A = this chain, B = another copy of it.
Amino acid sequence: MHKEHILTKNQQIIFDLIDKSPEPLKAYSILFNVQKRGIKAPLQVYRALDKLVEIGKIHKIESRNAFIACHNSSCQVAKATAFSICEICEKVTEISSAGLSKYLANFKDKDGMKYSKYNLEFFGLCKKCNTR
């Protein structure tokens, strides 16, 4: 569950854009899209993105350098994320599986070490791309 954060103007503009997008968005494509709304510089975008990631409203898809809104109420503020990525159409979906999160949150390595955070990216073909 997300703690409610009041977003600032820039954060809100950028979150809305990402939230409405069916696909992950890249920083500079966000920039081009919000220039008419007064956000002119890369840094303004990156600052908002950093904050939004920090508070868990969006996630970064590391292998794609792109950002997606969080639609998973069980992900604890950007600390435990899992995605499926279609290698053909690039569709990205956040995976919300209680089993998976439990398994990973409790995973201990050889040295018995547990981790405070993880990011998992699965790759394959989505249903559509798999059947054509």
- A residues bordering B, Cβ < 8 Å? 62-63, 84, 87, 93, 95, 97, 100, 103-104, 107, 109-111, 113-127
Contact = CB atoms under 8 A, between A and B. Distances in A.
Contact of A117 (B100, B113, B115, B124): B124
B120 A124 contact: no
A110 to B, nearest CB: 7
28 contacts: A62-B62, A62-B63, A62-B121, A84-B109, A84-B115, A95-B109, A97-B110, A100-B107, A103-B103, A109-B122, A111-B127, A113-B124, A113-B126, A114-B124, A115-B122, A115-B124, A116-B124, A116-B125, A117-B123, A117-B124, A118-B120, A118-B121, A118-B123, A119-B120, A119-B121, A119-B123, A120-B120, A120-B121
Q: Sorted from nearest, which 8 A-B pairs have the closest CB atoms?
A: A115-B124, A115-B122, A117-B123, A62-B62, A120-B120, A118-B122, A116-B124, A62-B63
Contacts of A119: 63, 120-121, 123
Contacts of A100: 107
A110 B62 CA distance: 23
Contacts of A111: 127
Given A62-B63, A63-B62, A103-B103, A116 B123 contact: yes
